Structure 1
Amino acid sequence: MRFMKRPNDFLFRALVVVASLSLAVLSVLVIYSVVMRYVFSDAPDFVEPIALLLVIVIAMFGAALKVREGGHIGLDSLVKKLPPKGQLIATSFQHICLIVFAVMIFFGCLQMVEATAEDRIPIIGLPESLRYCIPVIASVCIAMFSIENLLALFAQKQK
């Protein structure tokens, strides 16, 4: 269990920092854009594509962070009413579904990275594939966090 915890602790902290910085930058960009548009009547073009990238980072990394914390979407009210063995099965199934979902995101977005590698995001000129690299990274984190939670679940059961 410890072999998963250390790397996942590092990943978790890195995701928190990146997602937090992305949220801060997004907030500043939106304020800047609003001020420029309504005070100076000069809306900057670059804000929207950068903001879209930041929203993808915040959403995908935030989802991975919630998986690590066990705060992902679940039917807790139903699961809590099940007997202990049923709770174990339901929670295990939930984590397996998350792992399958992460694998599907990984391969789907990896195909999009390859397909859009030559394209550029208008205005800012960054590779279009950057939009799909973010979910690739997040899907690896989601899978790793789900595996850690699954291992912890069975380690706890054996005690």
Structure 2
Amino acid sequence: MLFYTRFCALLSKLSLMLAVAGLIVLIACVQYQVVGRYVFNDTPTWAEALALLLVLYITALGVAVGVRDAGHIGMDSIVSLLPEKFRLKLEIVIHLLVGLFGALMVQNGWLWTTMKWNDKKPMLSVPSGLDFLPLVIAGVLIVLFSIEHIIALLQGKEVIPAWN
């Protein structure tokens, strides 16, 4: 379990760092677009398309980190009111459902990624399938992090957020 926890913590931290780097690039793209439009009267067409693509990746990575670090909206108030024997079972069911959702993200995201891979985005000349790849990445991370939470619950441990 220790190896798996460290592995998930590393994945979570890397995902968060990539999301922050993506956010910095996103801000630069938007600034470049604004300066091009209002200062030089020449709008760079690729900047908006890249910014929209970055939003998908930033959001997907952020969602996955939120699942691991319990930053997502939960039903903690209801769960905490239950007796201990029901609380553990319900928490496991919640993580199983979150993991199932992640698996569905992987399945359907991969389907759309492969279907759209040969199409090109007009403004960036990259595969349109890149729009759906964040679903696959986030889904895999969500499944891994949900498994980590279930193992921790069964062992009576708590998952420590990677950013601490």
TM class, shorter-chain normalised?
Answer: over 0.9
Unaligned 5+ segments in structure 1 are: none
Q: How does 1:8-157 map to 2 (within 5 A)?
A: 8-156=8-156
Q: Distance in 1 between matches of 2:84 and 2:58?
A: 35
Q: Aligned to 1:42, what secondary structure does the other structure show?
A: coil
Q: Distance in 1 between matches of 2:93 and 2:132?
A: 27
Give the letter for the 1:19 counterpart: A
Give the letter for the 1:116 counterpart: K
Give the letter for the 1:30 counterpart: V
2:161 is matched with which residue?
none
Give the letter for the 2:106 counterpart: F
Shift of 1:17: 1.6
1:5 is matched with which residue?
5
Give the letter for the 1:91 counterpart: E
Segment drifting more, 54-63 vs 83-92: 83-92
Q: Aligned to 2:74, what secondary structure does the other structure show?
A: coil
Q: Distance in 2 between matches of 1:110 and 1:80?
A: 37
Shift of 1:44: 1.1
Unaligned 5+ segments in structure 2 are: 158-164
Shift of 1:68: 0.8
Percent identical pairs in the alignment equals: 37
Give the letter for the 2:40 counterpart: F
Shift of 1:35: 1.9
Shift of 1:139: 0.7
Shift of 1:45: 0.5
Shift of 1:6: 2.4
Segment drifting more, 127-136 vs 144-153: 127-136
TM-score normalized by structure 1?
0.93
Shift of 1:136: 0.6
What's the RMSD between the two structures over aligned residues? 1.3
Q: Aligned to 2:123, what secondary structure does the other structure show?
A: coil
Shift of 1:71: 1.6
Alpha-carbon deviations, 1:102-157, whole Å to 9, x = none? 11110101111111121011111001111112211111011001100110011017
Q: Aligned to 2:118, what secondary structure does the other structure show?
A: coil
